[in-house]
């Protein structure tokens, strides 16, 4: 590029100005002067553009240093085309190119970390790197949402939110989860009776999760009409979670649709927060997360902030929906698919279910019962190891980050820890592509000896706040399904291919055929 520019400029003859040869009075036709002006503009513009392109390449190569990655970046857009249609194969190629590797998208310099050491280092270095949600997240979640807090204020806010997932709180939620799971599974059976052909569970599993989360978080403080409205509109939010979106939220854009959906959701969630405060003030016992939150703030030993406004509480609940809906749906859908494809594992799950339920499949699930189901828990953990719903989380460096002895990530770069290689490390997970729940049941297994490799929920100060709830919900739905119904998987050429819609899903949406299961 530089040599091209040198040749180009040296072949351009200097154009004399009219003042440099004052004694010569030659009338120059106007079409000649205007074309020489245009030529000047053309050459100047070309030189500026060329200079910027050279600068772009130089900055990229300076930041990349010895890291694996393209030697040159595509001018202006970089790897934008790849980020529009991400594939697992593409990501794997990048991760396998090195423990750290570089790319650039729209001149955002990105360092991908694929090893456990570097991924964990990024997640656990709040002094150098902070989570960096996709650009649209700020527009959708609103800039004053707690999820954008960092440092000490984040730690303090998190301390309050952790109280929403204590054992006491989870024991309130489990009854709600059980009754909603049964309602939906019976609807799936009724639909299958009408039309027994296999159907994709992509959307029906999402509906189940949304319904469960709304009722766990807000109980009956949201009327049915509100729950339906939020559920119907939520897909607009998922659609807008792309890495790169049209920057302005004009009507018709995905982000605009997501903002409208958020406005509807926040309206109902604010109402729910206000009703929870009234219910607890009137002496009611907590029946959902919002109630539990208000009750917690009243407790004599409570040390945190007590003045959460309805809007703040609504934004927290909305952030939970935002963080959980896609990931939990991915985990649940792959759970169904993995069990259908591994009848031996499903048989072990059923054996455990019948034993703990003492043959009574109508018995509502309790926390104590779940604790007696180690095989179920091991399966859920293993299913998400094989297909982690979230494969990576973008962070941003706040200052130059000396990540290794010989490489420092420049300030204001994106650093993306990825989890796939940690979760498929053959030295920790022998037969790493095989679904083996037993590896979690042996306390001396290498899987249990290396908990740092299990990055499904991240690590460090921003580690997922909803781990227990998510694991419990996925386990509870699969366990209840295993005793109420049989399901067959229609395997297609797309079943083992992955589509990435913020999280991972089977490309064919997971086609299942359900039928009622005879009682024991």
Q: Annotated binding site for heme, which residues?
A: 464
Residue position matching structure tokens 């594939």: 87
Q: Does 104 contact ligand HEM by CB under 6 A?
A: no
Least distance to ligand HEM, CB of residue 333, Å: 11
Largest CA distance in the chain: 112
Q: Does 86 contact ligand HEM by CB under 6 A?
A: no
Q: Could you tell me which stretch among 64-72, 227-235, 243-251, 457-465 binds ligand HEM (CB under 6 A)?
A: 457-465
Please, is 161 exposed, middle or buried when counting C-beta atoms within 10 Å of its C-beta (0-12, 13-18, 19+)? middle
The answer to whether the CB of 233 falls within 8 A of the CB of 306 is no
Q: Which of residues 315-354 bind ligand HEM (CB under 6 A)?
A: 319-320, 323-324, 327-328, 331
Q: Could you tell me which stretch among 105-113, 244-252, 453-461, 494-502 binds ligand HEM (CB under 6 A)?
A: 453-461
Helix or strand (DSSP H, E) at 488: strand 485-489
Q: Which of residues 169-198 bind ligand HEM (CB under 6 A)?
A: none
3-state secondary structure of 486: strand
Least distance to ligand HEM, CB of residue 325, Å: 8
Q: Does 469 contact ligand HEM by CB under 6 A?
A: yes
Member of 69, 198, 226, 389 binding ligand HEM (CB under 6 A)? 389
DSSP assignments along 391-459, one per residue: -B--EEESS-EEEETTEEEPTT-EEEEB-HHHHT-TTTSSSTTS--GGGGT-TTSHHHH-GGG--TT--
Residue position matching structure tokens 């790897």: 79
The answer to whether the CB of 505 falls within 8 A of the CB of 498 is yes
Binding mask 107-126 for ligand HEM (x = CB under 6 A): ----------------x---
Pick the closer one to ligand HEM by CB: 132 or 249.
132
3-state secondary structure of 89: helix
Least distance to ligand HEM, CB of residue 519, Å: 30
Residue position matching structure tokens 């010569």: 24
- # residues contacting ligand HEM (CB under 6 A): 26
Annotated binding site: 464
Q: Does 390 contact ligand HEM by CB under 6 A?
A: yes
The count of other CB atoms within 10 Å of the CB of residue 165 is 19
3-state secondary structure of 223: coil
Q: Does 393 contact ligand HEM by CB under 6 A?
A: yes
Q: Does 356 contact ligand HEM by CB under 6 A?
A: no
End-to-end CA distance of the chain: 75
Q: Does 158 contact ligand HEM by CB under 6 A?
A: yes
Given the rule CB under 6 A, which residues bind ligand HEM?
123, 131, 147, 158, 319-320, 323-324, 327-328, 331, 389-390, 393, 456-460, 462-466, 469-470
């Amino acid at each position: 590029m530089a040599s091209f520019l040198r040749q180009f400029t040296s072949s351009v003859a200097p154009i004399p100005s009219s003042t440099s040869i004052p004694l010569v009075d030659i009338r120059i036709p106007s079409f000649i002067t205007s074309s020489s002006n245009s030529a000047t503009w053309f050459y100047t513009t070309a030189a500026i553009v060329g200079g910027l392109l050279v600068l772009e390449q130089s900055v990229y190569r300076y930041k990349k240093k010895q890291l694996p990655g393209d030697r040159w970046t595509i001018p202006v857009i970089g790897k934008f085309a790849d980020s529009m249609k991400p594939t697992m194969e593409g990501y794997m190629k990048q991760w396998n190119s090195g423990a750290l590797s570089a790319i650039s998208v729209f001149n955002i310099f990105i360092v991908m970390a694929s090893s456990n050491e570097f991924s964990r280092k990024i997640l656990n270095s709040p002094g150098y790197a902070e989570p960096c949600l996709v650009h649209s997240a700020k527009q959708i979640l609103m800039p004053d949402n707690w999820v954008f807090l960092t440092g000490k204020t984040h730690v303090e806010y998190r301390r309050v939110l952790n109280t929403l997932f204590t054992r006491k709180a989870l024991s309130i939620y489990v009854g709600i989860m059980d009754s909603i799971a049964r309602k939906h599974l019976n609807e799936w059976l009724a639909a299958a009776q009408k039309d027994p052909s296999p159907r994709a569970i992509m959307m029906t599993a999402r509906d189940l999760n949304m319904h469960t989360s709304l009722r766990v978080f807000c109980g009956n403080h949201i009327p049915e009409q509100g729950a339906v409205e939020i559920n119907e509109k939520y897909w607009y939010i998922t659609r807008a979670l792309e890495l790169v979106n049209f920057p302005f939220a004009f009507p018709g854009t995905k982000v605009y649709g997501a903002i409208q959906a958020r406005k509807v959701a926040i309206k109902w969630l604010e109402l729910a927060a206000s009703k929870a405060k009234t219910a607890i003030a009137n002496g009611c016992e907590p029946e959902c997360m919002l109630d539990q939150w208000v009750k917690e703030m009243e407790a004599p030993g409570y040390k945190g902030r007590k003045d959460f406004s309805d809007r703040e509480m609504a934004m927290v609940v909305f952030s939970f929906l935002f963080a959980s809906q896609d990931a939990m749906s991915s985990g649940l859908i792959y759970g169904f698919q993995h069990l259908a494809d591994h009848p031996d594992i499903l048989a072990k799950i059923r054996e455990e279910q019948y034993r703990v339920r003492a043959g009574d499949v109508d018995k509502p699930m309790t926390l104590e019962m779940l604790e007696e189901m180690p095989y179920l828990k091991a399966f859920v953990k293993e299913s998400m190891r094989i297909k982690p719903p979230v494969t990576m989380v973008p962070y941003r460096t706040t200052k130059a980050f000396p990540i290794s002895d010989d490489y420092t990530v420049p300030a204001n770069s994106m650093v993306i820890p990825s989890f796939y290689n940690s979760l498929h490390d053959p030295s920790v997970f022998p037969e790493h592509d095989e679904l083996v729940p037993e590896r979690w049941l042996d306390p001396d297994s290498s899987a249990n000896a290396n908990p740092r490799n299990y990055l499904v929920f991240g690590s460090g100060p921003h580690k997922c706040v909803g781990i227990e709830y998510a694991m419990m919900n996925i386990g509870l739905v699969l366990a209840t399904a295993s005793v109420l119904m049989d399901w067959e998987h229609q395997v297609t050429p797309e079943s083992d291919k992955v589509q990435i819609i913020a999280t991972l899903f089977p490309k064919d949406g997971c086609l299942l055929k359900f039928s009622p299961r005879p009682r024991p």
